[in-house]
Amino acid sequence: MSIDAQTDERLNRYQSVIDYNIRSVLCVPLFHVKEGVIGALYVDHRGLGNAFSEEDQTFLQVFANLVGVALVNARMYEQLEEKAQYLQQEVERRHQLGDLFGQSDAMQAIYYLIEHAAKSDITVLVQGETGTGKELAARAIHYNSTRKGQRFLSQNCAALSPELLQSELFGHKKGAFTGATEDHKGIFEEANRGTVFLDEIGDAPPELQRSLLRVLQEGEIRRVGETGDRTVDVRIIAATNRDLKQEVEKGSFREDLYYRLHVIQIDMPPLRERMEDMPLLAEHLLIQIKESVNKSVGGLTVGAIKVLTSYKWPGNVRELENEIRRAVALAKEDGEITPDLFSEAVGRAVPDVSVEYQGRLKDSMQEYERRLIMDALEKYEGNIKRTAEELGLVRASLYRKMNRLGLR
């Protein structure tokens, strides 16, 4: 506090004090208990000396303490908002088409259907064997659509009894059945304006099929135990490993529901039918798994790729992921992934490719490197330093790889 800034040596050298004839000054620190002094709160009076009392100073300090808390809270809120936005962008990025990995003609056809399905709100039926990535396809559609900012909720129609499944999807009223101690929103209400993914739709019981048809036709649901309907706005994507057309012919699946679901059909190819994707897909999974377990492991040897390509993969990509996860767990630190690290079933697969396959493997690995670098460069807007850090390289190594791959 200064009673006369014009004669106060701490203040009278400042031009603003002279120009504005500032006489009385009161300044207190903005203080936060955890962060200490984060600023100052300043008041002054022009023309009148000794304008502030000790009571004024006490009041201003109390006020400054409140302001300090408010400023820190505002900054924390802003940081949380930025983090939430970043996490949302990461979720969306992780469910772009890149998660459905592969460059084969079969996968290119899948990408085409997903991109076009995402542009509208029409119902999609995804068919394919277990482990082919049906839910990944559904998520890719959702996160590339106008509904991407809303919820994506999934339910396996084979996982619950008919009664519980009805309650889980449509909700229930308090007292509707034993154990219903309160009102419960179902998945369709929770996902309003978003997407509901119904896995194993071929196992849906008859009463559920009737209810689903009403959602698709009228956009209405009815909670278990209620008499009134509720309006919902959801997109439905269904998946099955069965041939639903055959189920219709057998009479176990409603024909009218089938045609409501079958607006766009996406048939996920089994892994054995796109073996040309194996080198890139296996390396992609290896990188993801190494990062998730924080273990330094080398790449897949040519022998390992040959073995992986020779196996028929009845469990498809999910089985491949489990094999690579096993191999990473058994591999030595900084060691390569060799055929002996795979399970007995995979390891005894007889390679049926000739040595000329190595040339195609090299091309595939180069294409994979090029894609990784391009994605990282795009993510960090061409910043070489951050791109190199993301890829675990020094800048000189990144420059050499970019030159070799024609990226400069």
Residue pLDDT, tens place only, 374-392: 878 888 888 898 888 877 7
Confidence of residue 359 (pLDDT cuts 50, 70, 90): very low
Pull the structure tokens for residue 29.
């620190």
Q: What topology does CATH give the domain 97-269? A: Rossmann fold (3.40.50)
CA distance readout (Å), 252 to 5, 260, 389? 91, 16, 55
Pull the structure tokens for residue 65.
């303490």
Distance, CA of 406 to CA of 408 (rounded, Å)? 6
Q: For position 356, what pLDDT does the model report?
A: 42
Which pTM does this prediction carry?
Answer: 0.65
Supply the CATH classification number for the domain 273-404: 1.10.8.60
The answer to whether the Cα torsion of 389, 395, 397, 399 is positive or negative is: positive
Q: Is the pLDDT of residue 355 over 50?
A: no
Please give the average per-residue pLDDT across 33-56, as a whole number.
83
- Residue spans in the chain of domains classed CATH 1.10.8.60: 273-404
Residue pLDDT, tens place only, 82-104: 776 656 555 554 544 546 788 88
The residue that leads in pLDDT, 33 or 245, is 245
Distance, CA of 220 to CA of 230 (rounded, Å)? 5
One of 3.40.50.261, 3.40.30.10, 3.30.450.40, 3.30.465.10 is the CATH number of 1-94, namely 3.30.450.40
CA-based Rg of the chain, rounded to a whole angstrom? 31
Residue pLDDT, tens place only, 257-284: 999 999 999 999 999 999 999 988 999 8
- Residue spans in the chain of domains classed CATH 3.30.450.40: 1-94
Residue pLDDT, tens place only, 134-169: 999 999 999 999 999 999 999 999 999 999 999 999
Distance, CA of 268 to CA of 130 (rounded, Å)? 10
